[in-house]
Amino acid sequence: MMKICVLGLGYIGLPTALLFAAHGVNVVGVDVKQSVVDCLNHGNLPFSEPGIESLYGEAKDRFFARTEPEAADVFLIAVPTPLDPATKVSDLSYVKNAAEMIAPHLREGNLIILESTVPPGTSERVVIPRLEKSGVAAGEFLYAHCPERAIPGRTLQEMAGNCRIIGGYDRDSTDRATAVYQTFVRGQIYQTDTRTAEFVKLMENTCRDVNIALANEFAQLAEECGINVWEAITLANKHPRVTVLNPGPGVGGHCIAIDPWFLTENSTRCRMVATAREVNDSMPNYVLHIARSMLAGIRNPTICIFGVAYKGNIGDTRESPAFKFIQLAENEGYTVRCHDPHVKEFPHSLMDATDAVAGSDCLIILTDHDCFRTIDPAGLRMRTKLVIDARNILDHEKWTDQGFAVRVLGDGSPIQPVPLAGLMAPAGLYPADATRPVAPSSSPSFSLLSPNGRGGYL
Ligand code: SAJ
């Protein structure tokens, strides 16, 4: 029976390991974090994902976790490849470390699979040379890059159902890796070389990022023209060859906000990809610009954020636009409160929905969780009835009927230019008695309420 050693038990490695085990493969899961290993060996899961608990039930007799690899037929690397925020260059330290951990156990005929997303050429330049420190040469061991393509929230269905790209070092490597994935993959398998597979994965996420940036730019352009971008997008998408994506408060997640930089890190020519990144990264500023305009003249304004996860119906906050929005809003002097029923841990306090809105001046929907769609505005005890729907998910008529001023990102209503909250206008700009933005009197901070942010709906 085949034995696979999976290095990295995160959002990709663990579901992959469990899928193999549930299909009859003996799996050793390796993670450098003792806490993850202990959690799994005590029968618990370190994170949630639809369907993973029952999969774990099917897999647990053939799966166990440890902190070091051991001899196996196949080694699969699924460790993080973060972006260095200072340089916008990939941090390959976890991949290098994983390859070095495998080397002492590597034997002729073993297959090593890299699933982690990496800049083109990383397999040849970084991974294979470290594996060869075993004394076994590439060709004597088999090697393939097989990028993961599953979307969080549907990870298990997509891992089994999506088509896969398999980029082998040579023919034998490609065929062996194909056979290994056919254990549980029902989707079509497409074969190529390692460098092309690395490039394809980055192209996919960059394509999505650039298209979201275009939608975000359309939203801002439409507003300058006094046009509702949502209606415009619906109409444009009636064209048989046009698919405009949805504008929003920014792009988060561990992939789309990062991978375009991997594609361009060695390029001296490309501009469109970097510009798209900048457009998407500037969307929290744009939402704050709208909020500032709505809150002008309100004393000690409090903003209430609904949704800190990077996208709807998941609890993942990696690279969430909420981080930047909160930091900008706090720096500007607003008091900020947050609520997210899907998120368990967040660096700032998360509050129960009722407590978060109580006495606040502007509710901002940053994440498209389904549960937010049905909020009853009649039950909200806000000081000022302002709402910004940055995802266009609310029933706006219901909210205006309850006396709310509703602003949807991209709806085309005019945004009054207002100086940053708390800034005194230069002398002479405002008449002495004019209303002007007023900074909160107390220092801004997150209120401490329920620790996990779960609460009833209003
Ligand atoms: N977003 C928008 N407007 C849209 C679509 C998305 O603002 O029209 C935002 C989301 O709110 C979120 C971000 O973009 O903040 C990314 O979300 P997503 O659902 O587009 O993608 P991810 O990051 O969850 O997963 C992506 C997927 N890649 C593609 O669809 C090309 C997934 O298939 C990959 O496996 C995954 O990246 C990955 O791990 O690389």
Ligand 1 contact via 208 beta carbon (within 6 Å): yes
- What CA–CA distance (Å, rounded) separates 229 from 246? 9
The answer to whether the beta carbons of residues 146 and 200 sit under 8 Å apart is: no
Which residues of 57-157 form beta strands (DSSP E)? 63-66, 74-77, 83-84, 89-90, 111-114, 142-145
CA 49: distance to chain centroid?
14
Listed in sequence order, the DSSP H helices in 341-444 are 353-357, 370-373, 396-401
- Judged against a pLDDT cut of 90, whether residue 130 lies above it is answered with yes
- 164-168 and 142-145 strand pairing: antiparallel
Give 230-250 pLDDT, tens digit per residue. Answer: 999 999 999 999 999 999 999
Query: Which atom of ligand 1 lies closest to the CA of 250?
Result: 7
Q: Which residue has the higher pLDDT, 7 or 268?
A: 7
Q: How confident is the model at residue 453 (pLDDT cuts 50, 70, 90)?
A: very low
- What CA–CA distance (Å, rounded) separates 315 from 313? 7
End-to-end CA distance of the chain: 54
Distance 256 CA to ligand 1 centre (A): 6
Residues 22-46, mean pLDDT to the nearest whole number? 96
pLDDT at 152: 87
Known active-site residue 255? yes
Q: Which residue has the higher pLDDT, 58 or 430?
A: 58
Catalytic option among 5, 146, 201, 324: 201
pLDDT at 415: 78
Ligand 1 contact via 309 beta carbon (within 6 Å): no
Per the structure block, which two tokens stand in for 225?
């023209």
Known active-site residue 60? no
Phi-psi region of 55 (alpha: psi -120 to 50; beta: other; left: phi over 0): alpha
pLDDT at 421: 55
pLDDT at 48: 84
Q: How confident is the model at residue 373 (pLDDT cuts 50, 70, 90)?
A: very high
Give 191-225 pLDDT, tens digit per residue. Answer: 999 999 999 999 999 999 999 999 999 999 999 99
- What CA–CA distance (Å, rounded) separates 254 from 240? 32
The answer to whether the beta carbons of residues 81 and 47 sit under 8 Å apart is: no
Ligand 1 contact via 212 beta carbon (within 6 Å): yes
What is the best residue among 256, 283, 316, 324 to mutate for testing ligand 1's pocket, by most ligand atoms within 8 Å of CB? 256
- Judged against a pLDDT cut of 70, whether residue 185 lies above it is answered with yes
Ligand 1 contact via 258 beta carbon (within 6 Å): no
Q: Which of 246, 214, 458 is nearest to 354 (CA)?
A: 458
Q: Which residues contact 374 (CB under 8 A, 6 or more apart)?
A: 457
Give 327-364 pLDDT, tens digit per residue. Answer: 999 999 999 999 999 999 899 999 999 999 999 999 99
- Cβ neighbours of 376 (radius 10 Å): 12
> What secondary structure letter does DSSP report for 41?
H
C-alpha torsion sign, points 46, 52, 58, 63 = negative
Give 380-414 pLDDT, tens digit per residue. Answer: 999 999 999 999 999 999 999 999 999 999 999 87
Q: How confident is the model at residue 455 (pLDDT cuts 50, 70, 90)?
A: very low
Q: Which residue has the higher pLDDT, 174 or 445?
A: 174
Q: How confident is the model at residue 447 (pLDDT cuts 50, 70, 90)?
A: very low
Ligand 1 contact via 11 beta carbon (within 6 Å): no
Spell 420-432 as b/e; 16+ CB within 10 A means b: ebeeeeeeeeeee
Q: Which residue has the higher pLDDT, 436 or 147?
A: 147
What is the best residue among 258, 262, 311, 369 to mutate for testing ligand 1's pocket, by most ligand atoms within 8 Å of CB? 311
pLDDT at 73: 98
Distance 253 CA to ligand 1 centre (A): 7
pLDDT at 423: 53
Catalytic option among 146, 255, 304, 338: 255
- Judged against a pLDDT cut of 90, whether residue 270 lies above it is answered with no
Range in 50-54, 195-199, 412-416, 438-442 with the lowest mean pLDDT: 438-442
pTM summary value: 0.89
Distance 327 CA to ligand 1 centre (A): 23
Distance 150 CA to ligand 1 centre (A): 10
Ligand 1 contact via 249 beta carbon (within 6 Å): no
Q: How many residues does the chain have?
A: 458
**Structural domains of the chain ordered from first start:** 3-193 (3.40.50.720), 207-280 (1.10.1040.10)
